[in-house]
């Protein structure tokens, strides 16, 4: 939202001087040795699970209060993928009451052929420590006879040992004789299998068109180190080498844009059961033709290490650190107006008390406490956002955050004057909170969650605001759309006058993961899911959730490649992006259940070659949080995809969450994407996002930063809380899944539509901001606003802000549309319901209930 004709310019980030004394060494990791725990957090599967609350992954999560339990029958098994070949020295089984009387410990190189390294026939339950000798990538407990009438149940399944070091690349051809398929064949004499038959006198040839592919099934997931292509005269000029675990979702491990034909030996790093040559551009007028397609696999490839330091842009304080204020001021001076700069910074305050501080928070800066509770880290001072850099206008105070701190403001009132993409989470303000800039200039709305404000929140000039699962002393004023769910002390329902939408509870929520200190060890706390939540998740005893040590995260720092990131994920590590800007030439694929991808300091991911920046498989409990995806100059089909097309698994017990994940198309430079975010999986929670097609900055124009759709929801039972989506060329939100829910929606239509024809949707004037598909039977939404500011052609008319099928199961509450200064107008609010906007007075047209 920018209710102003002024436009901020990108400030060039300058190099930050070394902050002496500000960066503290973090606990590092050392090479794994015998009797080192190597299974925790790795990918784990089982023959069965008793129910959704006893999934296989709970036996390797390091939490002895969670467990895996099987169906009540024999034979049952639980196996862990260590990510690489390991020497096994010990296995520890921590049984729940339902234990195994007779079982085997087995190892495997491929997850298919098993070797028994220990057998127990008289198990007693409790904790059993088994000294074993064996090697393998996979280790399993193979239960033969139960000790009770229930199934098998393990609090923890721990494997100790050492992962093989060194690396070698076999010369054996793993593809020879394996099943091979292709997109096409030139004729019956050039089948796909001729490229993997070991005979250099036979060949595969494709049809004479682009693109074409050939793929081989290796029979099991393997580590790849080399692909050798022996081209016939009809070669590939541009092509990719891709891998897949299932033959459906592909990861690019090598890209060639200037192939020369002949024999090409390509070093690669990745894993997969399927390997594909994906031809993009032919080198001749013929098709693609290969005499040989060979794949070499690695043995004992060194694993990627988790943990380590957090890099130069994470600045850690403790109460004894000298000159804290000077260091805060130095970063703020750089970041105050650097709206499209490249600087990224994270301040971390260790538990303790800090006096006389004013942390002014600029662009791409996050300020967090390192306690398990906000009250562990006390700031006697202020955490401040104001708008002096923009003449008292806060409508461009984006991309910053504060979390997990207790603040006693000097004046009794803290100032947090922000607009989109500026979350205020897990905070305790021991006083009041002012959401307006000094002088009460314009401000465009924001987000508070899991916070306690002892005094009153002064909304003042904020056009819209969403507060979730918090406790406040009161709330004053309102402009167009103020929404509360699960907030103790919230004002009563009043829309449209006052413009308050108040839900007593939030249907489903799970707070954002956060970094904290456990003694001297850094861990990430993952809060538990809550249903019908009200009030904060902290302050009432020990927080509910689980902790993951930093050693189970690949700490992503400058120079990291997409291939390395994907290898770390395949190995079973989570991701912690340190502050920085990361270009990726292949999709980051999150395929393991319960993976955490957490960003610090608004870490930013940019796809360079038109790929989707990140994809999540149709698995349970992935947590994406705290990062920005920036579109690249080559159009991407989407920038974030949660679940593949036609995903159908039930994740109600353990949903995937997307929190403080922001998407930008243009502004920092030319960027394009057909859609910003696509949600295909069921039961996903999108908790605070800003999807923004830029209206100012660099690389901005109706076609320059083209992006037709902001959010597309195909999955069922998806919930969005705090949904901000702006300026897309067509529909900002399209919702096709059943039983979807939205609590708070803020939107502006694209400013820069050149004329009515550019936004004409068949016979309908304009594309709705929020559209529910015509076949949807059940949908519900509360507190939605759409605004138009067609400043290129103010005569443009928008038929409606919202569009939905008219049926009893589709319900909307508290809707508004606004014409900003008469720059364009709405004919209706939703479908043909609700009065038109008119004139230049910026007065909302509202609908309290639909249908």
CA distances from 12 to 338, 341, 607, 760 (A): 6, 6, 22, 38
Across 322-411, the runs of DSSP E, i.e. the strands, are 345-349, 352-360, 365-369, 377-384, 400-403, 406-408
Q: What angle do CA 225, 230, 236 make, to 5 degrees?
A: 95
Which token pair is 424? 């205020």
Angstrom distance (rounded) from CA 255 to CA 277: 10
- Tokens 């909304």 locate to 459
Angstrom distance (rounded) from CA 56 to CA 78: 7
Residues in the chain: 851
Picking from 784, 292, 310, the residue whose alpha carbon sits closest to that of residue 556 is 310
Helix (H/G/I), strand (E/B), else coil: 626: strand
Tell me the H-state helices in 757-796.
none
Angstrom distance (rounded) from CA 664 to CA 686: 16
* Residues 445, 420 contacting (CB under 8 angstroms): yes
* Residues 411, 441 contacting (CB under 8 angstroms): no
Q: What is the DSSP pairing of strand 377-384 with strand 406-408?
A: parallel
Q: What one-character DSSP code corresponds to residue 307?
A: B
* Residues 231, 264 contacting (CB under 8 angstroms): yes
* Residues 76, 151 contacting (CB under 8 angstroms): yes
Angstrom distance (rounded) from CA 520 to CA 732: 45
Class of residue 786 by CB neighbours under 10 A (exposed 0-12, middle 13-18, buried 19+): buried
Q: What is the DSSP pairing of strand 845-850 with strand 810-819?
A: antiparallel
- Beta bridge partners of residue 277, listed in sequence order: 214, 241
Helix (H/G/I), strand (E/B), else coil: 331: helix
- Tokens 């070698």 locate to 168
Picking from 740, 744, 739, the residue whose alpha carbon sits closest to that of residue 721 is 744
Q: What angle do CA 440, 445, 446 make, to 5 degrees?
A: 120
CB burial readout 598-635, b (16+ within 10 A) else e? bbbbbbbbbbebebbbbbbbbbbbbbbbbbbbbbbbee
Find the Cα–Cα–Cα–Cα dihedral 66, 71, 77, 78, rounded to 10°.
Answer: -20
- Beta bridge partners of residue 79, listed in sequence order: 45, 140
Q: What residues contact residue 746 under an 8 Å CB cut-off, 6+ apart?
A: 1, 420, 445, 464, 481, 723, 724, 725, 726, 785
Helix (H/G/I), strand (E/B), else coil: 601: strand
Angstrom distance (rounded) from CA 505 to CA 10: 40
Angstrom distance (rounded) from CA 738 to CA 728: 24
Helix (H/G/I), strand (E/B), else coil: 12: coil
Angstrom distance (rounded) from CA 60 to CA 82: 11
Phi first, then psi, for residue 437 (nearest 5°) are -75, 165
Picking from 216, 218, 220, 219, the residue whose alpha carbon sits closest to that of residue 192 is 216
Q: What one-character DSSP code corresponds to residue 446?
A: E
Which token pair is 179? 């099943």
Which token pair is 561? 């490649």
- Tokens 């030996």 locate to 265
The catalytic residues are 748
């Amino acid at each position: 939202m920018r209710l102003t004709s002024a436009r901020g310019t990108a400030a060039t980030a300058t190099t930050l001087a070394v902050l002496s004394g500000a960066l503290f060494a973090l606990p590092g990791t050392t090479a794994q040795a015998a009797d080192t725990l190597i299974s925790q957090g790795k990918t784990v599967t089982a023959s069965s699970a008793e129910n959704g609350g006893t999934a296989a992954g709970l036996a390797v999560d390091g939490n002895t209060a969670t467990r895996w339990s099987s169906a009540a029958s024999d034979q049952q098994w639980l196996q862990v993928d260590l990510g690489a070949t390991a020497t096994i020295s010990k296995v520890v089984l921590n049984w729940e009451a339902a234990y195994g009387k007779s079982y085997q410990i087995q190892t495997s190189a491929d997850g298919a052929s098993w070797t028994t390294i220990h057998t127990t026939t008289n198990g007693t339950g409790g904790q059993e420590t088994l000294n074993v000798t064996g090697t393998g990538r996979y280790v399993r407990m193979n239960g033969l006879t139960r000790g009770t009438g229930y199934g098998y149940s393990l609090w923890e399944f721990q494997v100790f040992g050492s992962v093989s070091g060194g690396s070698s690349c076999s010369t054996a051809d793993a593809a020879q004789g394996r099943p091979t398929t292709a997109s096409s064949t030139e004729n019956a004499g050039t089948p796909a299998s001729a490229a993997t038959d070991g005979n250099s006198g036979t060949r595969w040839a494709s049809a004479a068109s682009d693109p074409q592919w050939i793929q081989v099934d290796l029979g099991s997931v393997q580590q790849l180190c080399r692909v050798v292509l022996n081209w016939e005269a009809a070669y590939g000029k541009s092509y990719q080498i891709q891998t897949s675990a299932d033959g459906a979702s592909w990861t690019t491990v090598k890209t060639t844009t200037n192939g020369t034909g002949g024999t090409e030996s390509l070093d690669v790093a990745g894993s997969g059961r399927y390997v594909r040559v994906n031809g993009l551009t032919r080198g001749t007028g013929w098709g693609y033709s290969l005499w040989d397609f060979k794949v070499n696999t690695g043995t004992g490839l060194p694993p990627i290490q988790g943990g380590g330091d957090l890099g130069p842009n994470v600045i850690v304080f403790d109460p004894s650190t000298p000159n804290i204020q000077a260091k805060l001021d130095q970063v703020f001076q750089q970041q105050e107006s650097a709206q499209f700069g490249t600087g990224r910074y994270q301040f971390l305050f260790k538990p303790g008390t800090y006096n006389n501080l004013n942390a002014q928070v600029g662009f791409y800066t996050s300020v967090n406490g390192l306690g398990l509770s906000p009250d562990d880290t006390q700031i006697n001072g202020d955490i401040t956002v104001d708008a002096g850099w923009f003449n008292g206008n806060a409508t461009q105070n984006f991309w910053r955050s504060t979390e997990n701190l207790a603040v006693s403001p000097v004046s009794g009132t803290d100032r947090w004057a922000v607009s989109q993409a500026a979350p205020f989470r897990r905070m305790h303000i021991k006083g009041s909170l002012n959401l307006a800039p000094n002088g009460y200039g314009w401000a465009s709305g924001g987000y508070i969650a899991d916070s306690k404000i002892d005094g009153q929140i002064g909304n003042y000039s904020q056009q819209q605001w969403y507060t979730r699962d918090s406790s406040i002393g009161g709330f004053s004023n309102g402009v167009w759309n103020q929404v509360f769910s699960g907030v103790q002390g919230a004002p009563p329902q009043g829309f449209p006058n006052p413009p308050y939408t108040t839900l007593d509870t939030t249907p489903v929520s799970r707070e954002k993961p956060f970094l904290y200190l456990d003694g001297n060890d850094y861990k990430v706390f993952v809060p538990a899911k809550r249903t019908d939540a009200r009030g904060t998740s902290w302050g009432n005893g020990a927080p509910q959730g689980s902790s993951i040590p930093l050693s189970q995260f690949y700490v992503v720092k400058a120079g990291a490649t997409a291939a390395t990131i994907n290898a770390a994920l395949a190995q079973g590590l989570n991701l912690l992006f340190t502050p920085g800007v990361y270009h990726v030439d292949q999709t980051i694929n999150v395929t393991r259940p319960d993976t955490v991808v957490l960003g610090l300091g608004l870490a930013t991911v940019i796809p360079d070659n038109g790929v989707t920046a990140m994809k999540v498989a149709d698995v349970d409990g992935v947590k994406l949080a705290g990062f920005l995806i920036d579109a690249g100059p080559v159009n991407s089909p989407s920038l974030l995809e949660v679940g593949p097309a036609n995903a159908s698994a039930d994740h109600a017990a353990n949903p995937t969450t997307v929190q403080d994940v922001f998407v930008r198309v243009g502004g920092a430079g030319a960027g394009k994407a057909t859609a910003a975010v696509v949600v295909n999986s069921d039961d996903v929670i999108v908790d605070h996002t800003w999807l923004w097609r830029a209206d100012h900055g660099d690389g901005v124009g109706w076609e320059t930063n083209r992006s037709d759709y902001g959010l597309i929801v195909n999955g069922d039972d998806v919930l969005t809380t705090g949904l901000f989506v702006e300026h897309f060329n067509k529909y900002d939100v399209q919702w096709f899944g059943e039983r979807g829910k939205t609590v708070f929606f803020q939107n502006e239509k694209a400013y820069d539509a050149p004329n009515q024809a550019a936004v004409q949707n068949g016979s309908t004037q304009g594309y709705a901001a929020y559209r529910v598909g015509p076949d949807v039977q059940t949908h519900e939404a509360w507190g939605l606003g759409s605004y138009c500011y067609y400043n290129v052609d103010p005569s443009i008319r928008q038929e409606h802000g919202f569009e939905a099928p008219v049926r009893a199961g589709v319900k909307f509450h508290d809707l508004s549309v606004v014409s900003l200064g008469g720059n364009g107008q709405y004919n209706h609010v939703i479908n043909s319901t609700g009065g038109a906007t008119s004139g230049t007075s910026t007065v909302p047209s509202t609908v309290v209930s639909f249908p």
